[in-house]
């Protein structure tokens, strides 16, 4: 049985699943789909073309599905799609996609977004991720599975965070973050293998040791014997015997960012080549 508080507003056109609990002060818009057993605590807003799976929990003040904060957004019916078993803590904001960015923001399942996180337009989030307090994710970012982001981290547009990565608090992410690593610092760099995180997710010590060996080959200052540049070191690793699944993935990820990306961001190079006419946002600007 679905429960809607008398002071909540649910648009008659919204599609609400079974056993949903909507607390006082909530707003659910006409184009919203809420899956079974979702819980909206007081003063949650879910609007726009937003599809929410089952067993999601929204804490007070969360605002989900609003228009993107992109000046190029033209008011289209873009979408937000959320999977199952996610937790959105107080004051989390998640925006829909834009027409030029794929028209969809997508969040997987079993994620936790802690207080005051912001997920911007056209972001893709995988499964089993944790974003700590006040993490700010800019538009067009891709977050792969099992990523853990500490508090007060800022992630630039078009950055990819590789799977099983751990981003330390106050880190500035302007480059793609290699999978399986700890990424830290104002300039943002891989500083270690995320050994503790990998162990928690069931990696064997043998798998972790192999990733350590590859990490040292790629990033250690003592690995000049394998090549002066990271490109040479990748070539050395690929020619030095068979690689495990995770070693191959790490190498492919790094190669993609270096060779196919722009400024170390693979997704930056995937922007549509066709540019639209310039848009002038400021009053009085003359069109060229």
What's the pLDDT tens digit per position in 84-142? 999 999 999 999 999 999 999 999 999 999 999 999 999 999 999 999 999 999 999 99
Q: Which residues pair with 16 in a beta bridge?
A: 34
Distance between CA atoms of 58 and 95, rounded to whole angstroms? Answer: 15
| Residue 85: CATH number of its domain | 2.160.10.10
**265 lies in a domain?**
yes
Whether 283 shows a pLDDT value over 70: the answer reads no
Instruction: Identify whether residues 133 and 9 lie together within a single domain.
Output: yes
Instruction: Identify whether residues 109 and 7 lie together within a single domain.
Output: yes
Instruction: Identify whether residues 119 and 221 lie together within a single domain.
Output: no
Kindly list the catalytic residues. 121-122, 139
Contact status, residue 236 vs residue 214, Cβ threshold 8 Å: no
pLDDT at 224: 72
Instruction: Identify whether residues 136 and 13 lie together within a single domain.
Output: yes
Q: What is the pLDDT of residues 139-174, one digit of tens each?
A: 999 999 999 999 999 999 999 999 999 999 999 999
Instruction: Identify whether residues 226 and 129 lie together within a single domain.
Output: no
Instruction: Identify whether residues 123 and 216 lie together within a single domain.
Output: no
**190 lies in a domain?**
no
Instruction: Identify whether residues 117 and 205 lie together within a single domain.
Output: no
Instruction: Identify whether residues 205 and 134 lie together within a single domain.
Output: no
Instruction: Identify whether residues 110 and 37 lie together within a single domain.
Output: yes
Distance between CA atoms of 231 and 234, rounded to whole angstroms? Answer: 5
Instruction: Identify whether residues 230 and 123 lie together within a single domain.
Output: no
Whether 278 shows a pLDDT value over 60: the answer reads no
The whole model's pTM is what? 0.94
**170 lies in a domain?**
no
Coil, strand or helix at 94: strand
- The answer for 202, left when phi > 0, alpha when psi is -120 to 50, beta otherwise, is left
Query: Strands 63-66 and 45-46: what pairing?
Result: parallel
**109 lies in a domain?**
yes
**283 lies in a domain?**
no
Q: Which domain holds residue 245?
A: 201-270
Q: What is the mean pLDDT of the chain?
A: 93
Instruction: Identify whether residues 119 and 218 lie together within a single domain.
Output: no
Among residues 140, 162, 184, the one where a domain terminates is 140
Total structural domains in the chain? 2
**233 lies in a domain?**
yes
pLDDT-derived band at 22 (thresholds 50, 70, 90) equals very high
**181 lies in a domain?**
no
**276 lies in a domain?**
no
Instruction: Identify whether residues 8 and 136 lie together within a single domain.
Output: yes
pLDDT at 282: 43
Query: Strands 87-88 and 57-58: what pairing?
Result: parallel
pLDDT at 194: 98
Q: What is the pLDDT of residues 30-68, one digit of tens each?
A: 999 999 999 999 999 999 999 999 999 999 999 999 999
């Amino acid at each position: 049985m679905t429960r809607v508080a008398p002071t909540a507003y649910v648009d008659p056109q919204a599609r609400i699943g079974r056993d949903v609990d909507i607390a006082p002060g909530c707003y659910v818009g006409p184009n919203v789909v809420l899956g079974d057993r979702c819980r909206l605590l007081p003063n949650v807003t879910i609007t726009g073309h937003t599809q929410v799976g089952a067993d999601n929990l929204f804490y007070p003040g969360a605002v989900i599905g609003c228009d993107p904060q992109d000046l190029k957004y033209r008011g289209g019916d873009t979408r937000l799609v959320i999977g199952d078993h996610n937790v959105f803590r107080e004051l989390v904001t998640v925006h829909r996609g834009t027409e030029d960015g794929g028209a969809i923001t997508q969040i997987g399942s079993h994620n936790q977004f802690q207080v005051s996180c912001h997920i911007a337009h056209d972001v893709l989030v995988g499964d089993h991720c944790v974003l700590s307090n006040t993490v700010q994710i800019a538009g067009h970012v891709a977050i792969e599975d099992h990523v853990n982001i500490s508090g007060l981290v800022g992630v630039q547009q078009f950055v990819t965070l590789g799977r099983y990565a751990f981003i330390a608090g106050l880190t500035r992410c302007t480059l793609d973050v290699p999978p399986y690593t700890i990424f830290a610092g104002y300039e943002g760099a891989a500083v270690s293998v995320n050994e503790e995180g990998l162990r928690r997710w069931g990696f064997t010590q043998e798998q972790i040791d192999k990733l350590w060996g590859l990490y040292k080959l790629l990033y250690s200052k003592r690995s000049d014997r394998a090549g002066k540049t990271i490109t040479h070191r990748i070539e050395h690793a690929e020619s030095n015997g068979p690689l495990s699944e995770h070693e191959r993935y790490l190498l492919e990820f790094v190669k993609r960012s270096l060779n196919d990306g722009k400024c170390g961001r693979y997704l930056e190079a995937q922007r549509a080549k066709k540019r639209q006419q310039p848009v002038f946002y400021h009053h009085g600007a003359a069109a060229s």
